Chains A and B, each alone.
Chain A
Amino acid sequence: MPALFLMLFPAVTIGEDFLGAPVVPHIRTIQKTETRLEILSDLTHDDALAFYREALREEEDIKFRDWKDATYIEDDGNREWHSVTISKEGKEGTEVVITKDSWTWIIGTLILRYVGVFVVLLLLFLGLKISGAFISRAIAKMDVKKDGS
């Protein structure tokens, strides 16, 4: 199995990486900046995924999320890279995007989640208001009936 893996994915063995993230064998670099690498690989999505599963097998704090249009590999540790996205819908090949770990992402997700707590409690507030109004009305109706009888 290791021999087959070395044959299939020589990039792992020669240590090609971007910000420490292994780079899948590719035919073209679409974009490369200090914070982002976009490449096109002739591997299928499943092969590219297998490549990353094997390359990151012993790494901790890495999760694989299966999205509808891509597989998203995210680092929850302290690595320099933050994510690897492997597209499922490439026409010319499989597009792989590696991004740098950034404070924009951390702060952005924190703000969104803090707002999320407000949204949860705001909806709960509305739920209580509506159910409270509903019950008050029902009790008032019952009182009217009682008084009538």
Chain B
Amino acid sequence: MNIYEITDLFRGILHTTGVFNFQWKLIIMWGVGSLFMYLAIAKKYEPLLLLPIGFGIFIVNFPLVPLMGYSDGHAQLIEVFYHYGLEWEIIPCIIFLGLGAMTDFGPLIANPKTLLIGAGAQLGVFITFTGTVLAGFTLKEAASVGIIGGADGPTTIYLTQHLAPQLLGPNAIAAYSYMAMVPLIQPGIMRLMTTKSEKRIRMRQLRPVSKREKILFPLVTVGIIALLVPSVIPLMGMFMLGNLMKESGVVERLTETAQGALMNIVTIFLGISVGATMHADSFLSWKPLFIFSLGLIDFGVCTAGGILTVKIMNLFLKEKINPLIGSAGVSAVPMASRVSQIQGLRYDKNNHLLMHAVGPNLAGVIGSAAAAGMFIAMFD
């Protein structure tokens, strides 16, 4: 064996290593992944999602790692999760099943007029759409970016995967990051948009809701949504199935699985798949940065939209609604409700708004799903 053969031998081995195929831009993505892991571990921001997302970003940005792609015609590990979970639009629907099994719609049923707040809070979704089109995105991309303001992770992922899968990573991360930052984003807008007397409005205690009403709710809701926005039924249908399972009380084992083990399993696959879509080659461009900045405005406008809707409703209502619960019209359950509660207590130590805010909060979930359905119907 001569020196050339030995060099070739080493070169052959070197070519199979990540070191030889290294690119500097990968370091930036390691930083992005590490940042999300830091936020999850140290700051506890949406750790269930940001941790696997951060790790997904980190691990996929090493050269030659066989995770997202195909080798010899076979899909690689995360590609399989991504293909069957997200491309087939299954994971967001299963998450909605689990969310339904966890949700008590009592406060919304007791005060159904708060549904309108959930609609009003979608204002930012439609305004952001316009801004995104102006920036040069296609209409489908604009719709997928706009829905971030609805503050509903599964809906954002569902719509983005449906209309603009190339933006899945940035959109999902923007949605979950801003959801985690609701306590930082919303209070300033709430303070700015409400007067002192409005902040102190006390609302009557909610009436108790019977079990029959709770059982009927998912059926009525799914029926109406199916008639008006059929395109979003995969999400809403699963949401309401989960809730019916919970409220019926006859399938406790299924309810427990849906809200526990099943939800946890798909959350792992969701997080790592979303993170793995963010390879340096596709992520390092102006679009993700633009989505992040616009997402913030989107959130702000949605919050303002909810508060504004309450103010308009108060013009016609005898029993006034505290506008501080308007901000909960963005989904972000239950974080947005907690923000309303904390802000309410700041101005009146005996004014507990939590249960009142849960109504618009849940309406926000339905509202953002309805908005997503409107967009899907527009493009399909």
Residues of A participating in the B interface, judged by any CB pair closer than 8 Å:
61, 63, 76-78, 106-107, 109-111, 113-114, 116-125, 127-129, 131-132, 135, 138-139
Contact = CB atoms under 8 A, between A and B. Distances in A.
A129 to B, nearest CB: 6
B136 to A, nearest CB: 7
A63 B378 CA distance: 11
A67 to B, nearest CB: 15
A53 to B, nearest CB: 18
A121 B367 contact: yes
Given A120-B370, A121-B370, A128 B220 contact: yes
A135 to B, nearest CB: 5
Contacts of B204: none
A124 B119 CA distance: 11
Contacts of B123: 114
Nearest to A111: B126
B216 A118 contact: no
B109 A128 contact: yes
B213 A131 contact: yes
Contacts of B276: none
Interface in B190-214: 210, 212-213
Q: How large is the interface on B (under 10, 10 to 19, 20 to 34, 35 or more residues)?
A: 35 or more
Given A76-B379, A127-B224, A128-B109, A118 B133 contact: no
Contacts of B112: 124-125, 128-129, 132
B263 interface: no
B213 A132 contact: yes
A76 B139 contact: yes
B212 to A, nearest CB: 5
Contact of A135 (B126, B140, B213, B229): B213
B140 A61 contact: yes
Contacts of B374: 113, 116-117
A109 B116 contact: no
A121 B130 contact: no
B257 interface: no
Given A106-B130, A110-B126, A132-B109, A125 B115 contact: yes
Nearest to B379: A76
15 contacts: A61-B138, A114-B122, A116-B228, A116-B374, A118-B116, A118-B120, A120-B119, A121-B363, A123-B224, A124-B221, A124-B225, A127-B221, A131-B220, A132-B112, A135-B213
Interface string B182-196: 000000000000000
Nearest to B120: A118
Where chain A touches its partner, the secondary structure class is helix
B124 to A, nearest CB: 10
A27 B221 CA distance: 53
Contacts of A107: 130
Nearest to A130: B220
Nearest to A61: B138
A117 to B, nearest CB: 5
B109, B224, B379 — most chain A CB neighbours (10 Å): B224
Contacts of B229: 116, 120
A124 B115 contact: yes
Interface string B136-152: 10111000000000000
A59 to B, nearest CB: 12
Given A113-B126, A123-B224, A78 B136 contact: yes
B126 A76 contact: no
Contact of B116 (A106, A125, A127): A125
B220 A124 contact: yes
B109, B112, B113, B367 — most chain A CB neighbours (10 Å): B112
B371 interface: yes
Contact of B210 (A77, A121, A125, A139): A139
Contacts of B379: 63, 76
Interface in B69-119: 109, 112-113, 115-116, 118-119
Contacts of A111: 126
Contacts of B370: 116-117, 120-121
B375 interface: yes
B129 interface: yes
B217 interface: yes
A61 B374 CA distance: 18
A77 B212 CA distance: 48
A66 to B, nearest CB: 13
